[in-house]
Amino acid sequence: MKNTLRLAFALLGWMAASAFAATPSKPNVLFIAVDDMNNDLGCYGSPIVKSPNIDRLAARGVKFERAYCQFPLCSPSRSSIMTGLRPDTTRVFNLQYHFRTGLPDVVTLPQMFTRNGYYAARVGKIYHYGNPGDIGTSGLDDPASWKEFFNPAGRDKTTLESDVINYTPQRGLGSAMVYLSDQAGRDEEHTDGKVATQAIELLEKHRNEPFFLAVGFYKPHTPYIAPKKYFDLYPIEKIEVPQIPADYTKTVPALALASTKPWPNFGVTHQQARECKQAYYAAISFVDAQIGRVVDALDRLGLRENTVIVFWSDHGYSLGTHGLWMKQSCFEDSARVPMIFAGPGIKAGMASPRLVEFVDVYPTLADLAGLTPPSNLAGVSLRPLLTKPDEPWDRPAFTQVQRGDFPGHSVRTPRWRYTEWDGGQQGVELYDEQNDPGEMKNLAADPKLAATIAELKSLVKKNWPERVTGGTVDVATKKAKKAKAKE
């Protein structure tokens, strides 16, 4: 009898210990952000991009195949993920307006952790910075979110900007077709190398207390500057940029292509676009190496079993598809983002095909840490998908952009992407993602799909029941003023 009791108590103790190991009472959070990185990564199926460290992170966690940002532009997207609110609530639609202007008491994601006894710090870019202009400053940061913050600046910012090859000199460096292969600099001398070094120092210093460490890398955002060895990974003869059919623009609303002017590819030649794409991929591999340094340090410090890692990019990025470059479109390659969760209680080496959104990140981390988030969050916890990635899931993903006075609203379902511009007055798009994943055939005028369009339109209307507002000025109000001025 005594032996049986001892065995029972031992079993209970083992079960309790195992449960603790799987779900720590106060798990750390390593929150890794990159700037302007699309899904051209090895773990997402790219046959050319070298991303061994991100791939390794995906192998130890759940990779979301269909994750979407709420607004494919830096500040709106970052404000959304950090508050757990959609852009119509934060009212951030540009790179100037700060969400605290209209929401002074909002509790951000790191604030929630701080209020529950965590050390919260930021290294590099988490909220919006002009990149590269604001490197070395706090940009449009939110000081209330952090106990400490660090703004590194490396040779890509301090010494190399004047040496870049710029094919669109009329544009600022942050939105230009511009690159440089650094012949002499070491990784640790570049801004992102310094971000990694500072993050490692903080991991070492705060390893014995619960932490929320946000590590924000600046690449692969333009200007595409990286050490030469990363350019050498991508022979130019292996780089291709899509050719656009001559009649492509006939069935696509003008606003859908308005993010790239002049269209296509900002007017650069095909060869120049190839060079920029090569440089973009070099920048991905460079920042991948810095991510590897941070994750390796986490493991070396014995923090792996007690730390949830979240990897994300603020939005996707077009590299010549549809003749577009960069972001601010409602197409898949701009709205879709790489996103990976890894850590205790999370299935390893799995991919989830379910549609998820950035607004889901906040409630998910609260759930994993056993914390109570604000009641007004727009998303839901992804925890069920972190243990069973193919769990039944019936939630669409919504993305929006702004074209002057005209909003673009897009909904993604497992089969379809539907986009309407200014409520449909400026055009409508429908793409069959199953049979046309490149989104090259707009089916919006197909009468056989009228029922599908009506269903998708109702989803858009449900998500955006009111007119979109642009920062502090309502778009409808601006239109009314213009109409009145013409009278």
List the catalytic residues.
Answer: 74, 128
Backbone φ and ψ for 418, nearest 5 degrees, come out as -120, 130
Contact indicator for 19, 296 with CB cutoff of 8 Å: no
What span, in angstroms and rounded, lies between the C-alpha atoms of 433 and 435? 6
Burial class for 175, CB neighbours closer than 10 Å (0-12, 13-18, 19+): middle
For 431, half-sphere exposure in the C-beta direction (CA atoms, 13 angstrom radius) is 20
Contact indicator for 189, 286 with CB cutoff of 8 Å: no
